[in-house]
Amino acid sequence: MLWQFVCLRKGKQTRSLKHLSTKVFVVAIITSFLFIFPGRHIERSQKENIARREGYQPCPPFTLLIGSATIDAWVKDFSLCNDPEVDKLARYGYPGEPAQIAKLLANRESK
């Protein structure tokens, strides 16, 4: 699609309905990128401000063992960032891990 757009800009192909739709599609994609990247930054900073107002602190980012995704965690008790039991539970990024961590913390509070 981008190659067609470049060729269309250079005038190598005749202008037809197909080329017009390619041009409109490329302009729509470029416009959407202009909204997506600043919007993601604004949304992330808004969420961080809400977390800070509620008393949460950011943990140092860590990487899951099964991929290269970096996880940002926010906690009220900063000692949980380096807790070996919580690290062991949160190592793989499985969907059930937050519930297991909540159960572990509830058991600690009841003791």
Which residue type does 90 have?
A
Token pair listed for 111: 């003791």
Q: What is the pLDDT of residues 73-102, one digit of tens each?
A: 788 888 888 888 888 887 777 788 888 888
> How many angstroms separate the CA atoms of 69 and 71, rounded?
6
**What 3-state DSSP class applies to 74?**
strand
Q: What is the pLDDT of residues 10-42, one digit of tens each?
A: 665 555 656 677 778 888 888 998 999 899 899
